[in-house]
């Protein structure tokens, strides 16, 4: 039963993160949404490790990888925002639309 509870927490965090990433206009707020999604992934990985296969370390390693992915997301995100801001004075996703081309 506890596995389901943990996974429900993970899905809730992930869904809130998706909402943030889709609805926010500012790049930094979009990144907050991404972080929340990754937060949900951490919960899910830890719960899978504990409730399904605690003897194998894979779940724990996955949590470490996810934390590393999060730091990469932060660093690159801020670097790109800084560059965008310097180049265009833009901090909104809609204003950086020419990146689509």
Partner 1 sequence: MQIALFCVLAVVAVVSGAAVFVVDSMARATYALALSFVAVGASLLLLDLAYLGVVTILMMVMEMAIMAVFMIMFMMNPAGLMPMSMLHNRRGAPAISGGIFLALGALVLLVPWPERRGTVPADPTRAVGEAIMGSKMLVMIGVSAVLFTTIVAALVLATSRGRYGDDEPAGYGHGESHGPHNGHGGGHDAHAGHGGHGGHGTHAAPPAAEGSGT
Q: Enumerate residues 5-64 that contact partner 1 by CB under 8 A.
A: 5-20, 22-29, 31-33, 35-36, 39, 42-43, 46-47, 49-58, 60-61, 63-64
Q: Which of 66, 8, 5, 15 is nearest to 41 (CA)?
A: 66
Least distance from partner 1 to the Cβ atom of residue 41, Å: 10
Q: How many residues bind partner 1 (CB under 8 A)?
A: 78
**C-alpha distances in angstroms, 86 versus 75, 80, 82, 83, 100?**
17, 10, 6, 5, 19
Least distance from partner 1 to the Cβ atom of residue 48, Å: 9
**C-alpha distances in angstroms, 4 versus 1, 7, 15, 45?**
5, 5, 16, 13
Least distance from partner 1 to the Cβ atom of residue 35, Å: 6
86 in contact with partner 1 (CB under 8 A)? yes
100 in contact with partner 1 (CB under 8 A)? no
């Amino acid at each position: 039963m506890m596995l389901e509870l943990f996974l429900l927490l993970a899905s809730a965090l992930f869904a809130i993160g998706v909402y943030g990433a889709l609805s926010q206009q500012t790049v930094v707020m979009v990144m907050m949404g991404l972080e929340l999604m990754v937060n949900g992934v951490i919960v899910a990985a830890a719960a899978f490790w504990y409730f399904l296969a605690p003897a194998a370390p894979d779940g724990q390693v996955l949590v470490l990888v996810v934390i590393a992915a999060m730091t990469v997301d932060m660093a690159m995100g801020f670097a790109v925002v800084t560059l965008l801001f310097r180049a265009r004075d833009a901090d909104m996703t809609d204003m950086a639309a020419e990146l689509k081309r």
